[in-house]
């Protein structure tokens, strides 16, 4: 497969269709409008592909639930305020153990905020987001190639664990163009017994989230918790960059990690040894992997395009074994690598030397 | 040998309804199951029960079912039908579910002309939560959240779903029925059958609104509840066929069969 130059939002769509996604429902919201636009054309061209422009975000997520129950790979997308509306359905899908992919191209918040890239939805994404005791797997791509690979992986993970999976990117990732190679998707593994397609001549079944008996509901919660435990052990992914000999490690994800990489390269030329730890899965957070680094490196700087949300997971992971500093740019502000390099250099001078 | 004239429909499980005595849900469940049996579609039918008294409908219908969050039934049903176009998909909804929290879902599923059937139970009150005001609660009607009676200045007016939805181009068949007498139950069953048939023939969106007694929350006995539908409720919500765009050719064929 040859390399093609595409923008992030289109890449997500193309990867989804190639991964066998055959149902998309969504509602326009900036900065992810290219997704429903691409899907309107290309999903309807794909064999058996269904595209619906829904009347609301709430409807879109519930359509995904319906299509997923019917046995299709299904996806919806939105940006921050729209993702808040989808939480009812995400909680419901987690309860009913329905697979599905939700894309969040984050923008500035809270409230309507603005349409600039931001990372303020980390808590919402990694803590479930809706009501009740559940988790969603959260993937945070930092390159266009990763947008393609992780979108395909999202469908596999959703099926494997019968749980919603979120792609958490931001307006920068959605709008930027990079060359990308679409890899061959893995064949779908999903048991037909989980699909609701009519009873035929057999026993009827039902899918539900309402379990009135508290003992049964408790057991359902523990069952989900055991599943999340397995995911936490098996699925954390991260990237390490320039870790050997690093005196300080920047922890950042998505667009923030790209900026951090640029800053680190600049500072290398000035003789500063700085590494990057980039979580690729935000839930499950790669906490063991980060903690093991703290035996060697004692200085950490967390950089997020928020007032500090992933910071809490890093504190939990490092458990007081290291010094943790934070730099944040919330509300849609995106620093340049040069600007971030200045910040890092100041902290490096104070803490490392 | 004795002739069987009445028995449990095959599409209804061997379970005792949890509904209150005199409630219309059990009647409607039964006639839907009869229609499913008569059309021979048990194996290809998928039902979407709502949040509300009928949330446990999957304990009674012996067809595949998926419970929708409150009001989202038509969204789910639309997606299931689009994913599996040769299945028969129905959403079963109450007045709060359809006309309040799920009005957008219902309205737009109808407007898209989704080839699904909505069974809409209108009992002018929120049943499961204990008798609060519904979008279909009538003026002057007392509920736990309109204790002095529904006041149009403060609470607005009853939503007339059939009148409103019949204006939508996407709707093919729409009828309002009642289940307060044997004759009306038969009429309702015919309407439901017609709606399912409309879907099976690929003619598009159908909705059957059913005025249904809720003796518990109306604080009446079952007999008076049925009378109240005749004397009060049906005056605000007159029964009848509000829209019938089923092509004439299929109509004749149905009569012949």
| Residue contact B58–A206, C-beta within 8 A | yes
Whether B198 is in a domain gets the answer yes
A298-307 pLDDT, tens digit each: 999 999 999 9
> Is residue B166 in some structural domain?
yes
Closest CA–CA distance from residue B164 to any residue of chain A (Å): 18
Tell me what pLDDT residue B252 has.
57
Q: Do B80 and A62 touch (CB under 8 A)?
A: no
Question: What's residue B239's pLDDT?
Answer: 98
| Statement: residue B30 has pLDDT above 60 | yes
Closest residue in A to B67 (Cα–Cα):
A208
Instruction: Considering only residues A145 and B6, tell me which one the structure prediction assigns the higher pLDDT.
Output: A145
Determine whether the interchain pair A65/B79 forms a contact, defined as Cβ–Cβ distance below 8 Å.
yes
- Segments forming the whole domain that contains residue B184: 24-252
Across the interface, do B63 and A210 touch by the CB < 8 Å criterion?
A: no
pLDDT for B249: 74
Q: Which of A23, A54, A199 sits opposite B42 (nearest CB)?
A: A199
| Length reported for chain A | 353
Give the residue among A121, A132, A117, A180 at the shortest CA–CA distance from A333. Answer: A117
Percent of chain B whose pLDDT exceeds 70:
97
pLDDT tier at A197, thresholds 50, 70, 90: very high
**Partner residue facing A70 (CB), from B63, B80, B108:** B80
In angstroms, the separation between the Cα of residue A141 and the nearest Cα of chain B is 29
pLDDT band at B257 (very low <50, low <70, confident <90, very high): very low
Question: Confidence band (pLDDT; 50, 70, 90) for B254?
Answer: low
In a domain, B153, yes or no: yes
pLDDT at residue A289 is higher than 70? yes
Tell me how close the Cα of B171 comes to any Cα of chain A, in angstroms: 17
Residues paired with A324 in a beta bridge: A300
Q: Does B10 touch chain A (CB under 8 A)?
A: no
The whole-chain average pLDDT of chain A stands at 97
Domains and CATH numbers, chain A: 4-234 (3.40.50.970), 240-351 (3.40.50.920)
Classify residue B1: in a domain, yes or no: no
Residue B50 maps to which CATH number? 3.40.50.970
Q: What percent of chain A has pLDDT over 70?
A: 99
Does residue B8 lie within any of the structural domains? no
Residue B17 lies in a domain: no
pLDDT tens digits for range A66-90: 999 999 999 999 999 999 999 999 9
Give the whole-angstrom CA distance, residue B145 versus residue A74: 40
Residue B107 Cα, gap to closest chain A Cα (Å): 10
Over residues A333-349, the pLDDT tens digits come to 999 999 999 999 999 99
Nearest CA distance, B72 vs chain A (angstrom): 7
The answer to whether the CB atoms of A63 and B76 lie below 8 A apart is yes
Q: How close is the nearest chain B Cα to the Cα of A34, in Å?
A: 22
Q: How many domains does chain B have?
A: 1
B105-158 tens-digit pLDDT: 999 999 999 999 999 999 999 999 999 999 999 999 999 999 999 999 999 999
B-chain CB neighbours of A208 within 8 Å are: 58, 66-67
Instruction: Quote the ipTM score.
Output: 0.96
With CB atoms and an 8 Å threshold, state whether A197 touches B64: yes
Residues of A near B (CB-CB distance < 8 A)? Answer: 22-23, 25, 50, 52, 54-56, 58-59, 62-67, 69-72, 74, 88-89, 92, 96, 196-202, 204-210
Residue B248 — very low, low, confident or very high, per pLDDT cuts 50/70/90? Answer: confident
Among B15, B72, B106, which would you mutate to test the A interface (most chain A Cβ atoms within 10 Å of its Cβ)? B72
Q: Which of B62, B63, B104 sits opposite A56 (nearest CB)?
A: B104
Cβ contact (<8 Å) for A204 and B69? no
**What angle, 0 to 180 degrees and rounded to 10, lies between the N-to-C axes of helices A214-234 and A144-161?**
140
d(CA B250, CA B233) in angstroms, rounded, equals 33
CA distances from A312 to A107, A324, B16 (A): 21, 10, 51
Which pLDDT band, with edges at 50, 70 and 90, does B253 fall under?
low
How far, in Å, CA of B108 to CA of B104, rounded? 6
Tens of pLDDT, residue by residue over A154-189, are 999 999 999 999 999 999 999 999 999 999 999 999
State the pLDDT at residue A1: 66
For residue B174, is it within any domain?
yes
In angstroms, the CA A113 to CA A235 distance is 33
CB nearest B79 (choices: A66, A96, A209): A66
**pLDDT score, position B5:** 86
DSSP H helical ranges for chain B: 24-39, 73-83, 95-96, 103-111, 152-155, 161-165, 182-200, 215-218, 222-228, 234-236, 248-256
- Span A5-46, pLDDT tens digits: 999 999 999 999 999 999 999 999 999 999 999 999 999 999
Cα B121 from Cα B180, distance rounded (Å): 13
* Distance between CA atoms of residues A315 and A291, nearest Å: 10
For chain B, positions 28-47, list CB contacts with chain A under 8 A. 42-46
pLDDT greater than 50 at residue A104 = yes
The answer to whether residue B15 neighbours chain A at the CB level (below 8 Å) is no
- Chain B interface mutation, best of A56, A63, A98, highest count of B Cβ atoms under 10 Å: A63
pLDDT at residue A353 is higher than 80: no
B108 touches chain A (CB under 8 A): yes
Percent of chain A scored above 90 by pLDDT? Answer: 98
Question: Tens of pLDDT along B62-83?
Answer: 999 999 999 999 999 999 999 9
Are B236 and B138 in contact, with CB atoms under 8 Å apart?
Answer: yes
| β-bridge mates for residue B69, sequence order | none
Alpha carbon distance B199, B246 (integer Å) = 10
Query: Which chain A residue has the Cα nearest residue B63?
Result: A204
Q: How confident is the model at residue B188 (pLDDT cuts 50, 70, 90)?
A: very high
Identity of the residue in A69, A74, A89 whose CB atom sits nearest the CB atom of B66:
A69
B119 touches chain A (CB under 8 A): no
State residue B2's pLDDT score: 85
Q: Is residue B118 part of a domain?
A: yes
The two three-digit tokens of residue A203, written as one number: 């026993």
- In chain B, residues with a C-beta closer than 8 Å to the C-beta of A62 are 68-69, 72, 75-76, 79, 105
User: How many interface pairs between A and B have CB atoms less than 8 angstroms apart?
Assistant: 124
- Half-sphere exposure in the Cβ direction for A224 (13 Å, CA): 24
């Amino acid at each position: 497969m040859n390399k093609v130059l595409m923008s992030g939002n289109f890449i997500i769509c193309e990867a989804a269709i190639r991964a066998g996604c055959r149902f998309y429902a969504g509602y326009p919201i900036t900065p992810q409008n290219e997704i429903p636009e691409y899907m309107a054309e290309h999903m309807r061209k794909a064999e058996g592909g269904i595209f619906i422009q829904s009347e609301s975000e709430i409807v879109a997520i519930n359509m995904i639930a319906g299509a997923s129950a019917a046995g299709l790979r299904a996806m919806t997308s939105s940006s921050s305020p729209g993702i808040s509306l989808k939480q009812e359905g995400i909680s419901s899908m987690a309860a009913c153990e329905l697979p599905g992919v939700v894309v969040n191209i984050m923008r500035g918040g809270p409230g309507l905020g603005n349409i600039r890239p931001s990372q303020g939805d980390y808590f919402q994404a990694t803590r479930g987001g809706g009501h009740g005791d559940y988790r969603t797997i959260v993937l945070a791509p930092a390159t266009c190639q990763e947008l393609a690979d992780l979108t395909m992986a999202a469908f596999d993970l959703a099926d494997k664990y019968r749980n919603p999976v979120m792609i958490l990117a931001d307006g920068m990732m959605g709008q930027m163009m990079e060359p990308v190679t679409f890899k061959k998707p893995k064949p779908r593994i999903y048991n037909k017994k989980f699909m609701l397609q009519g009873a035929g001549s057999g026993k009827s079944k039902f899918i539900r989230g309402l379990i009135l008996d508290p003992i049964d509901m408790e057991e359902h919660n523990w069952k989900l918790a055991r599943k999340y435990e397995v995911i936490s052990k098996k699925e954390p992914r991260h990237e390490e960059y320039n870790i050997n000999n690093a005196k300080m490690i920047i922890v950042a994800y998505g667009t923030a990690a790209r900026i951090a990489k640029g800053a680190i390269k600049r500072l290398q030329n000035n003789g500063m040894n700085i590494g990057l730890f980039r979580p690729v899965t935000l839930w499950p957070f790669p906490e063991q992997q980060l903690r093991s680094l703290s035996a060697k490196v004692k200085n950490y700087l967390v950089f997020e395009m928020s007032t500090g949300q992933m910071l809490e997971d890093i504190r939990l992971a490092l458990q007081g074994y290291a010094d943790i500093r934070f730099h944040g740019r919330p509300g849609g502000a995106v620093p340049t690598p040069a600007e971030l390099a200045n910040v890092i250099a100041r902290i490096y001078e104070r803490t490392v030397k | 040998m004795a002739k069987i004239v009445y028995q449990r429909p095959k599409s209804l499980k061997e379970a005792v309804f949890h509904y209150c005595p005199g409630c219309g849900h059990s009647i409607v469940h039964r006639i839907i199951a009869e229609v499913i049996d008569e059309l021979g579609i048990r194996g290809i039918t998928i039902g979407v029960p709502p949040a509300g008294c009928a949330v446990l409908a999957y304990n009674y219908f012996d067809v595949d079912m998926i419970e929708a969050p409150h009001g989202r039934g038509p969204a789910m049903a639309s997606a299931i039908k689009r994913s599996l176009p040769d299945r028969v998909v129905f959403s079963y909804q109450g007045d709060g579910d359809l006309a309040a929290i799920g009005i957008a879902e219902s309205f737009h599923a109808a407007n898209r002309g989704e080839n699904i059937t909505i069974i809409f139970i209108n009992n002018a009150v929120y049943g499961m939560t204990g008798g609060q005001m519904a979008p279909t609660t009538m003026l002057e009607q007392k509920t736990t959240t309109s204790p002095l009676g529904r006041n149009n200045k403060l609470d607005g007016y009853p939503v007339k779903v059939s009148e409103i939805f019949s204006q939508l181009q996407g709707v093919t068949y729409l009828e309002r029925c009642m289940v307060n007498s044997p004759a009306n139950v038969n009429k309702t069953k015919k309407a439901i059958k017609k709606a399912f048939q409309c879907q099976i023939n690929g003619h598009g969106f159908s909705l059957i609104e059913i005025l249904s007694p809720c003796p518990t929350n109306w604080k009446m006995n079952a007999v008076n509840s049925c009378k109240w539908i005749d004397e009060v409720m049906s005056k605000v919500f007159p029964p009848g066929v509000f829209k019938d765009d089923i092509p004439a050719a299929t109509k004749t064929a149905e009569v012949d069969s």
